[in-house]
Amino acid sequence: MMTLKRVGALPREWAARFSALMSPGSARVKPRGVAVGEFDSAMLWVVALLVAVGLLMVYSSSIASASESRFTRSSATYFLLRQSLFVLMGSVLALFVFDTSLRTWERITPYVFGIAFVMIVAVLVPGIGRKVNGASRWIPLGPFSLQPSELMKLAMVLFAARYAVTKRDLLHAAQPLKQSLLRGLGPFLLVALMVSVLLLREPDFGATMVVLSTGLLILFMAGLDYRLVLPVVVVGLVAAVALVWLEPYRLERIFGFLDPWKEEFGKGYQLTQSLMAIGRGGIFGLGLGAGVSKHYYLPEAHTDFILAVTAEELGLVGVFIVIGAYAWLVWRAFVIGREARQLEQPFAALVAQGIGTLFGIQSLINIAVNMGFAPTKGLTLPLMSYGGSGMIASLVTLSILLRIDWENRRLARGFKV
Rounded-to-integer distance, Cα 407 and Cα 388, Å:
29
In this structure, the dihedral spanned by the alpha carbons of residues 235, 236, 241 and 247, taken in order and rounded to 10 degrees, is: 120
Rounded-to-integer distance, Cα 34 and Cα 16, Å:
21
| CA-based nearest residue to 365, from 325, 307, 316 | 307
- For 158, phi then psi, to 5°, come to -65, -45
CA 58 to chain centre: 19
Say how many domains are in the chain: 1
Alpha-helix runs per DSSP H in 222-268: 226-246, 248-258
- Per-residue pLDDT tens digits of the chain, which is 417 residues long: 334 433 344 344 434 443 443 343 333 345 555 555 677 899 999 999 999 999 999 999 999 888 888 888 888 899 999 999 999 999 999 999 999 999 999 999 999 999 999 999 999 998 898 887 777 888 998 888 899 999 999 999 999 999 999 988 777 755 666 666 767 788 999 999 999 999 988 888 889 999 999 999 999 899 887 777 778 888 888 887 787 777 777 777 777 777 787 777 777 888 899 999 999 999 999 999 889 998 888 988 999 999 999 999 999 999 999 999 999 999 999 999 999 999 999 999 999 999 999 999 999 999 999 998 988 877 899 999 999 999 999 999 999 999 999 999 999 988 887
Q: Is there a contact between 229 and 220 (Cβ–Cβ < 8 Å)?
A: yes
Q: Is there a contact between 22 and 271 (Cβ–Cβ < 8 Å)?
A: no
Name residues whose C-beta falls within 8 Å of residue 287's C-beta, 6 or more positions apart in sequence. Answer: 313
> Which strand ranges, in their side-by-side order, compose the sheet holding 135-141?
130-132, 135-141, 144-146
CA 238 to chain centre: 25
Q: What is the pLDDT of residues 73-114, one digit of tens each?
A: 888 899 999 999 999 999 999 999 999 999 999 999 999 999
- What pLDDT is stored for residue 261 in this prediction? 79
- What pLDDT is stored for residue 287 in this prediction? 93
Rounded-to-integer distance, Cα 98 and Cα 84, Å:
21
Rounded-to-integer distance, Cα 250 and Cα 257, Å:
11
- Torsion 258-264-267-273 (CA) sign: positive
Q: Is there a contact between 410 and 309 (Cβ–Cβ < 8 Å)?
A: no
- What pLDDT is stored for residue 11 in this prediction? 42
Rounded-to-integer distance, Cα 352 and Cα 10, Å:
35
Is 93 a domain residue? Answer: yes
Is 229 a domain residue? Answer: no
Rounded-to-integer distance, Cα 350 and Cα 160, Å:
8
Rounded-to-integer distance, Cα 314 and Cα 131, Å:
34
Rounded-to-integer distance, Cα 309 and Cα 142, Å:
30
- What pLDDT is stored for residue 17 in this prediction? 41
Is 367 a domain residue? Answer: yes
Is 90 a domain residue? Answer: yes
90 by Cβ neighbours in 10 Å (0-12 / 13-18 / 19+) ranks as buried
- What pLDDT is stored for residue 70 in this prediction? 81
- For 252, phi then psi, to 5°, come to -65, -35
Q: Is there a contact between 390 and 147 (Cβ–Cβ < 8 Å)?
A: yes
Is 120 a domain residue? Answer: no
DSSP code, position 387: -
**Residue 267: which domain range?**
38-99+247-412
Is 89 a domain residue? Answer: yes
What 307-311 contacts at long range (C-beta under 8 Å, 24+ apart), as own/partner pairs, is 307/366, 307/367, 307/370, 307/371, 307/381, 307/384, 308/273, 308/274, 308/275, 308/277, 308/278, 308/370, 309/57, 309/60, 309/61, 309/277, 310/53, 310/57, 310/384, 311/277, 311/278, 311/281, 311/285, 311/370
- What pLDDT is stored for residue 354 in this prediction? 97
Is 181 a domain residue? Answer: no
Q: Is there a contact between 417 and 101 (Cβ–Cβ < 8 Å)?
A: yes
- For 340, the enclosing helix (H) or strand (E) is helix 306-342
Q: What is the pLDDT of residues 264-278, one digit of tens each?
A: 777 788 889 999 999
Is 114 a domain residue? Answer: no
Output the average pLDDT for the chain: 86
